[in-house]
Amino acid sequence: MSLRIGDTAPDFSAQTTEGDIDFYKWLGDSWAILYSHPGDYTPICTTELGRTAQLKDEFAKRNTKILAISVDGLASHQGWVKDINEISKTIVDFPIIADPDKKISRSYAMIHDNASTSATVRSVYFIGPDKKIKASITYPASTGRNFTEILRVLDSLQLTALYSVGTPVDWEDGQDVVVSTAIKNEDIPAIFPKGYQEIKPYLRYTPQPNK
């Protein structure tokens, strides 16, 4: 069974490249991105892990911890990290889970048997401080993840968590957002003092509240 938005993210204990962790304790009151890799020393995932390390400050600004997982063992992970650091000219200092028994991967529905019974698909889970799944994206092995999009989704999720807004098509941080349909027009001035524009009764824009 796949995990769906709103489901509780499974807790687990694991060996990682940054030591043993208990997921819920490690997460604390932060957001998390948990993403999987089919195996170590794979070319596309090598570029992704390097890019993640390069974006360390961007994730820190968003109170977001990064956690990667592969079904290979810890020694293999540690050797792979050396390659990633060399290739990307960075330092991978976030945990990569060793999951050789695939227990964690299966609990997060990362093993798709029709694709492979041994390797994970390339899933990304956005997990909130409440330990709930907020969003997920799954890629095939051939398509590198777009971290501009991952950051954009994270910004949207965090904005929605704080304010009664949604983000429209192609939204980027700093642009107008959509007022929740649950809010009546007469209540908007008190909630969104920057004003609003009504396109239709169900489509009302307001400047991004935290900008």
**Domain 13-144 fold:** Glutaredoxin (3.40.30)
What average pLDDT does the segment 177-190 reach?
96
Q: Is pLDDT at 175 greater than 60 in this prediction? A: yes
Q: Is pLDDT at 77 greater than 60 in this prediction? A: yes
User: How sure is the predictor about 26, in pLDDT bands with cuts at 50, 70 and 90?
Assistant: very high
Q: Please name the residue that has the structure tokens 């004003």.
A: 195
Residue 38: per-residue pLDDT: 83
Residue 118: per-residue pLDDT: 44
User: How sure is the predictor about 61, in pLDDT bands with cuts at 50, 70 and 90?
Assistant: very high
CA dihedral 137, 142, 147, 148 (to 10 degrees): -100
SS3 for 70? strand
Q: Is pLDDT at 3 greater than 90 in this prediction? A: no
Contact call for residues 6 and 87 (beta carbons, < 8 A): no
Which amino acid is present at 118?
S
Long-range contacts from 190-194, C-beta under 8 angstroms, 24+ separation = 191/164
pLDDT digits (tens, 9 = 90+) for 150-173: 999 999 999 999 999 999 999 999
Please provide the distance, in angstroms rounded to a whole number, between the alpha carbons at the two ends of the chain: 40
What is each CA distance from 144 to 1, 3, 42, 156, 192, in whole angstroms? 25, 22, 11, 21, 38
Residue 116: per-residue pLDDT: 47
Residue 117: per-residue pLDDT: 42
Which amino acid is present at 143?
T
Nearest residue to 157 (alpha-carbon basis) of 139, 145, 173: 173
pLDDT digits (tens, 9 = 90+) for 84-142: 999 999 999 999 999 999 899 889 988 755 444 445 567 899 999 999 999 999 888 78
Task: Please give the structure tokens belonging to residue 199.
Answer: 């396109």
What average pLDDT does the segment 74-93 reach?
97
Residue 120: per-residue pLDDT: 53
Residues acting as catalytic residues: 45
Residue 113: per-residue pLDDT: 53
SS3 for 32? strand
What average pLDDT does the segment 21-29 reach?
98
Listed by start position, the domains of the chain span: 13-144, 163-206
